[in-house]
Homo-oligomer: A and B are copies of this chain.
């Protein structure tokens, strides 16, 4: 009988409100299969933890602490932005990974991240075969950008979408109250450098019972100041106010980001970030309208307090399915969300080979953006609505959400130091 192998789990890239729910899914499912899977290690600060042989023993965490991951935002073991390149360029790193896995009898690699980490996961699987220490590498999808292919959506996105939709609705009610004598345009900047998935969620602020004027600036649509001003003016004329949701990645025809268009501080240094103040200033200049602006930044992806229940369930399910795929002997695959119907929303867990996932970016379909380029279509709405469905409140104590901080105890190293 084959030796019982250990498992390694790591979080990758920008964290989300629900990536820890995937971690809970992985760890609880692995714990429930002790006869097959031995220890469950986690990388301290993601894949860097594997390279530096900084392996967290998740066995030191109580059952309740692991359960609490389900309602804790951020990356409980630490994450990092560290992209491994091709097997040639990053050969040294890949070989080190296999060495570390070998030294600690790790036969299962669960990597929780976006497109880059799917690629890394795939390469680890390939190289481990070549190096004669076969590892089952399973990718667990995660990204607020919702840009992974094959899966209907990515855990992490639904909760950001819900946050943006709720925030836009609430701020719109606020502005509506005051617009007769005060602010007429509210501008909210949201994440999304390449794809407008998150910005699109702003449109959900409006529905049959909420006739709210929302103008969206997508990175998919080249910014045209005149057209934009025309639509803002039209909304303000009709409603007395309007809300603008601007993606950080909005740019001109020449590719230049709005946020880069010349804000300088007192010392002449370029002021980074802030598409919202740029757009707000333009509105003031061109239309003379009073504005307010907000930049949600990390608040949107950390907002576990307003997480989507669909999203939490899917994040957990992806972690659980990853372990189940491993138990079935699968390798170089990723569990996916397969949508069965919009209304009522039904989905199930599917599976995709990493060769078809790695390094492919799923853009928002053109059919989701309205003809004028400033809103979403009914098709886009039908896609988005189920993803924000349901609430999944964390427990509170004294008015504050109770998130867990793990002990994160490292196991002893067995190998020499590794220079990153």
Contact = CB atoms under 8 A, between A and B. Distances in A.
A104 interface: no
A173 B74 contact: yes
A186 B380 CA distance: 33
Contact of A209 (B82, B263, B391, B402): B402
A305 B302 contact: no
A396 B310 CA distance: 14
Contacts of A292: 297-298
Contacts of A180: 45, 48, 78, 80
Interface stretch (A109-117, A264-272, A331-339): A264-272
A167 interface: yes
Contact of A78 (B171, B177, B188, B272): B177
Interface in A156-189: 162, 165-167, 169-171, 173-178, 180-183, 186, 188
Interface in A172-212: 173-178, 180-183, 186, 188, 204, 207, 209-211
Copies of this protein chain in the complex: 2
A281 B399 CA distance: 33
Interface stretch (A355-363, A367-375, A382-390): A382-390
A193 to B, nearest CB: 14
A169 B298 CA distance: 11
A175 B73 CA distance: 11
A79 B182 CA distance: 9
Interface in A11-26: 11, 14-15, 17
A303 B15 CA distance: 23
A304 interface: yes
Interface of A: 11, 14-15, 17, 45, 48, 72-76, 78-82, 162, 165-167, 169-171, 173-178, 180-183, 186, 188, 204, 207, 209-211, 261-267, 269, 271-274, 276-278, 281, 285, 292-299, 301-306, 308, 310, 385, 388-391, 393, 396, 398-403, 405
